[in-house]
Structure 1
Amino acid sequence: MEKIKVQDSVGAILIHDMTQIIPGVIKGPRFRKGHVVQEEDIPVLLSMGKEHIYVWDQTPGLIHENEAAERLARVVSGSGLVLDEPKEGKITLTAAHDGLLYSSENGILELNALEGVILATLHNHYPVKKGDKVAGTRVVPLMIDEKVILAAEEIAGTYSNPILDVRPLKHLKVGIVVTGSEVYHGRIQDKFGPVLRAKVENWGSAVIEQALASDDVSLIQSNIQNQISMGAEMILVSGGMSVDPDDVTPAAIKGMGTELITYGAPVLPGAMFMLAYLGDIPIMGLPGCVMYSKKTVFDLVAPRMLTGERLSRLDIIKLGMGGLCLECPVCTYPRCSFGK
C-alpha cells in the first residue's frame, strides 16, 4: 500500500473502511473501502485525525484485511452458520438456526497462535438462537502476508470436524419414569414430571409417556422397557439417585444390561447424575436437584445428546471446570460461568 497526504488524495480510492467517532453521536465507518475521495471529504478526514490515507500498491504476496477475514471465516465455518459482509476488516458469524455451538478448542488455539490472526468465539456447547452472534474473525494488520492465511486454511483442514458449527436439536420421543414410593402411592404430588416435561418440550422434543414407579427395581425396569417398546429414544428416570439403600434407581438402570457411562458428575447441582446407554438409547438417572434448581447437570448434557452426540465418561469429567452453578437469585444462564 502507498501512503498519501490527505490534501493530495482527491481521486484516490480507499482500500479500507475509515471509522469516525463523535461521542454520543456516531461511531462507525464514515468512508467505506472503495470510496473515491472528493474535495469535500478533505476537511472531514482531517477532523477525523487523518493526515494520510493509504492506497493499494499491489505488493505481491499481501492481501487486504477484508479478504483475509473472509477467508478465515469461511475456513472455520461448518454447518449452521451465516457470514456477514466485511466491515472494517471484520467478519461476524451468526447462527443460521437454534441449536448448540460446537467449537474446536484446539483449532481455535492453533489459529490464534498464528501471527496477526484473530478468531473470537462463544464457549463450546453454548446454546444459541437463530441470528445470535457466535464468532468473529479479523486480522491485525491492514495488509497481511497471504502465507499466514494459507497456514490457517491448512490448520483447519487437519481437523475431521469443522472448527465451528451450530448443530440443531433433534426432535426425540422421550419417556419419563418418576420413582419414589411416596409419589407412586399418592402420598405426595409428583413435582418432578412437570419440570422434566417443560424442559423436554422447550428443547423441541415430546414426552410420549410418563409413568410412576415405587422403589422397586423390577417395576422401574419394566416401565423403562415399556417406554422403549413405545418408541422412546431417550429415557429420563427421576429420583432415587443417592447412596441411600432405599434409593434403587441406579441399580435398576445398571441391571438392564446397559453400558454405564458414569454414576456421578463433577457438577453442582447434579453430582449424583447417572448416564447409561441401552444400545443407542440414552438413559439418564436424575437427582432431586433437577426438580428444584433452575439449572443443573441435566441442562448441560441433555441438549448435547439431543444433537445426536453420544457422550463419554471423559465428556462428563470435563464438565468439572465451570461445573459450579452460583445459583443466582435471577438466573441468567447461559450468560454466566456455568458449564463454561
Structure 2
Amino acid sequence: MRLIDTKDAVGHMLCHDITQIIKGEKKGPVFRKGHIIQPEDVDVLLSVGKDHIYIWEVNENMLHENDAALMLYDMCKNEHLTRDPDIKEGKVELIAECDGLLKIDKERIDKLNSLGEMMIASIHDNFPVKKGQHLAGMRVIPLIIEKEKMAKAREVVGDKPLFKLLPYRQKKVGIVTTGSEVYYGRIKDNFTPVVIDKVKAFGAEVIAHEISSDDVEMEINCIKKVIDAGANIVLCTGGMSVDPDDKTPYAIGQNASRVITYGTPVLPGAMFMLAYGGENENITFMGLPGCVMYEKRTIFDIVLPRIMAGEKLEKSDIDRLGVGGYCMHCPVCIFPNCSFGVS
C-alpha cells in the first residue's frame, strides 16, 4: 500500500472503499475497493476530502481490511448464521438465517476486542431474533493489518464459533387457568388469550387448556390432564402470590420433579415459578404471576424465548437477571430492543 497525490492517481487501483456523506441523503461508498481511478474520478475524490489516496501494493506480511474482516467472520459463523455478501467499507455483518435465540460467547469476544486494531460489535446475548436480522458487525481498524495479529486473534478465540443461533422448537403447550372467580364464571378469563398469543409468536401449539378453581386437588389434576394430552410446556396462570388461597406453586410442585425457582429478581415478574418434570425432565412448568396478563413485558418474555429454543435454565441463570431485570415502563414499548432482560 502506498500513499500518492490524488491528482496523480489516475490508472491506479483503490485499496479501500471511499465513503461519501451527504447530510440527510446518503452515506456509503462512492468508489469501491479495486476501482481503477479514471480522470473524471479525481474531482469526485477531491470533493469528499481525499487529497491523497492509498493504492494497493502487495505485501506478504500484511492483510487488507476486507480479508481481515472475513477472518473475523470465520471466527463468528455457525449453523443458521451467514453474512452480507457485500463487504462495505471493510465491514462484514452477521445475519440470521432463521428465527431463533442468539447465544454469544461474551468472554471470548471481550478478549478479542481487547487485542486492539480489530473489533466485533453485536446485539446482546439471549436475544430473540428474526430471519434476515443483522446481528453483528466486524472489521479491523487500520486499512491493513499484520497477518501475525490476525493469527493471534484466532489463537485467542480458538476453534469454537463465537456465535450460535438456536432455532425455536415445535413445542406443545398446555395451559391451566386457575382461580375460582374464573372457574365459576364470575369474571372473564383475560389471562389465557394473552398467554396463547405469546407462545404462538414462537411457533408453539396450544394443545390443551384446563380451568381450575382454587381447590388444590383440582389444580393438581388439571396439570396432570394437560400433561396426559402431550404438553411439554405447562403454563399455570394465576394463584402465584402469597395469598392463602393461591395454591398454584404447590400444585406445580406436586407434578414436577425439580423446582428451579419460585421467585425471580425481575420486575415485573418477581413471583414467577420454573420447574421441570417428566422423563429426563422433558416437561417445563411455569407459574405465571398476574403481571403477565396486564404488563406489556415481564419475566415471561425474558424466559420464554430461551425455553422455546430448547434451553434448560438453572437457578444461576435466573439469579443473573437482576441487573437488567427492571422494566422502565416506557410509554412506547420497544422490547426486546431495550435494556430489559439484558444481564
Q: TM tier, shorter chain?
A: over 0.9
Aligned to 2:17: 17
How many aligned residue pairs are there?
Answer: 338
Give yes or no for contact 1:76–1:156 (8 Å, CA) kept in 2. no
Aligned to 1:102: 103
Distance 2:305 2:183 in 1: 29
Aligned to 1:128: 129
Deviation at 1:189, TM superposition (A): 1.7
Aligned to 2:235: 236
Matches within 5 A, 1:244-323: 244-278=243-277, 279-323=281-325
- Using the aligned pairs only, state the percent identity: 51
Give yes or no for contact 2:239–2:246 (8 Å, CA) kept in 1. yes
Residues 171-228 of structure 1, C-alpha deviations (whole Å, 9 max, x = no match): 2110000111221222222111111111111221111011011222222222212211
Residues 225-284 of structure 1, C-alpha deviations (whole Å, 9 max, x = no match): 221121111000111111222211111112235211111001100000000000221100
Distance 1:46 1:192 in 2: 64
Change (3 A) 1:195 1:257: closer
Tell me, what secondary structure is at the counterpart of 2:119?
Answer: strand
Distance 1:149 1:235 in 2: 48
Query: If the length of structure 1 is used for normalisation, what is the TM-score?
Result: 0.95
Matches within 5 A, 1:105-116: 105-116=106-117
How large is the Cα RMSD of the aligned pairs? 1.5
Q: Which residues of structure 2 form unaligned runs of 5+?
A: none
Matches within 5 A, 1:85-96: 85-96=86-97
Aligned to 2:143: 142
Give yes or no for contact 2:256–2:275 (8 Å, CA) kept in 1. no
Change (3 A) 1:129 1:77: same
Matches within 5 A, 1:15-164: 15-84=15-84, 85-157=86-158, 159=160, 162-164=161-163
Distance 2:297 2:24 in 1: 39
Tell me, what secondary structure is at the counterpart of 2:321?
Answer: helix
Give yes or no for contact 2:223–2:255 (8 Å, CA) kept in 1. no
Query: If the length of structure 2 is used for normalisation, what is the TM-score?
Result: 0.94
Give yes or no for contact 1:115–1:148 (8 Å, CA) kept in 2. no
**Does 2:174 match 1:172?**
no
Q: Which moved more, 1:107-116 or 1:293-302?
A: 107-116
Residues 286-326 of structure 1, C-alpha deviations (whole Å, 9 max, x = no match): 11111111111001001100000000111111111111111
Deviation at 1:108, TM superposition (A): 1.7
